[in-house]
């Protein structure tokens, strides 16, 4: 059988139809209730309801369901000497009751045939078809606590985008972006500029180089120091912005 354990238990309903055409004599016996075997329609109704409850035993891969309703109704068609049989079923579960309704209509039609075959062996069961099926949607809780994770997921920006903006390597804020983001980027650039201004003094005292040292070693040392100070300034501003955001 198909695994339906992951589906929600909802209210489900279905209805099915079968039509049986009789001879005029057999039709009169059924309508008058004078058939040799007894009340044809009452017997067919009970047979259909019992069949709906036993569907999983008749159809190998059907799920056994606890039906909350099963019914069979008959509508006579005098002109055609026929009966329209409508079977309905309802349950609350993870799968539908279409097969229960179809089985009830089928067995009710077969029962009518069995009870009139002594008079009319030419009775014809014309059609068996599903008329309708429905399943109510499961209600989901929309409390504030259940929405918090979704809101957090929507507001979370990709790590790559955050890193690009905080390092100052990304594009300048475009029109329409928030003022807070633009102000944060401006602070980062200001901190990096201040760090570069201090690099001359820091570089001249690193590894014995002076501010007038034009050797490759002196320039390389100054460049490394500038990069380190710039990164330190960016991280410091990023930490301050993060703490201020959390405090809000």
108-147 pLDDT per residue, tens: 999 999 999 999 999 999 989 999 998 876 444 334 444 4
Q: 241: buried, middle or exposed (CB in 10 Å: 19+, 13-18, 0-12)?
A: middle
- Angle at which helices 98-116 and 24-32 pack, to 10 degrees? 110
Cβ contacts of residue 111 below 8 Å, gap of 6+? 40, 43, 44, 47, 48
Averaged pLDDT for residues 202-229: 52
Does residue 155 surpass a pLDDT of 60? Answer: no
Q: Which of 5-9, 85-89, 107-111, 152-156 is least confident?
A: 152-156
d(CA 40, CA 63): 30
Catalytic hit among 114, 120, 213, 220: 114
> pTM of the full predicted structure?
0.55
Percent of the chain with pLDDT over 90: 44
Contact 227, 192 (CB under 8 A): no
- Chain centroid to Cα 15, Å, comes to 26
CATH superfamily of 10-134: Molybdopterin cofactor biosynthesis C (MoaC) domain (3.30.70.640)
Q: Where are the domains of the chain?
A: 10-134, 152-247
Q: What is the pLDDT of residue 134?
A: 87
Q: What is the pLDDT of residue 97?
A: 93
Identify whether 167 is a catalytic site residue. Answer: no
């Amino acid at each position: 059988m198909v695994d339906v354990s992951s589906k929600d238990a909802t209210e489900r309903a279905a209805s099915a139809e079968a039509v049986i055409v009789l001879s005029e004599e057999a039709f009169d016996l059924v309508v008058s209730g004078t058939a040799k075997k007894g009340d044809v329609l009452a017997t067919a109704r009970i047979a259909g309801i019992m069949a709906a409850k036993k569907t999983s035993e008749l159809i190998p891969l059907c799920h056994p369901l606890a039906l909350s309703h099963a019914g069979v109704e008959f509508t006579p068609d005098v002109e055609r000497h026929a009966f329209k049989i409508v079977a309905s079923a309802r349950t609350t579960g993870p799968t539908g009751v279409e097969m229960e309704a179809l089985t009830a209509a089928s067995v009710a039609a077969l029962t009518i045939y069995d009870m009139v075959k002594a008079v009319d062996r030419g009775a014809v069961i014309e059609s068996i078809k599903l008329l309708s099926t429905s399943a109510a949607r499961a209600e989901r809780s929309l409390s504030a606590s259940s929405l918090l994770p979704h809101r957090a997921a929507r507001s979370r920006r990709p790590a790559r985008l955050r890193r690009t903006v905080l390092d100052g390597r990304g594009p300048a804020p475009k029109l329409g972006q928030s003022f807070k983001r633009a102000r944060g980027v401006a602070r980062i650039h200001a901190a990096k500029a201040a760090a570069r201004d201090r690099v001359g003094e820091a570089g001249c005292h690193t590894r014995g180089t002076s501010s007038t040292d034009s050797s490759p070693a002196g320039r390389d040392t100054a460049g490394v120091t500038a990069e380190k100070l710039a990164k330190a300034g960016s991280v410091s501003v990023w930490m301050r912005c993060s703490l201020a955001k959390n405090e809000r």
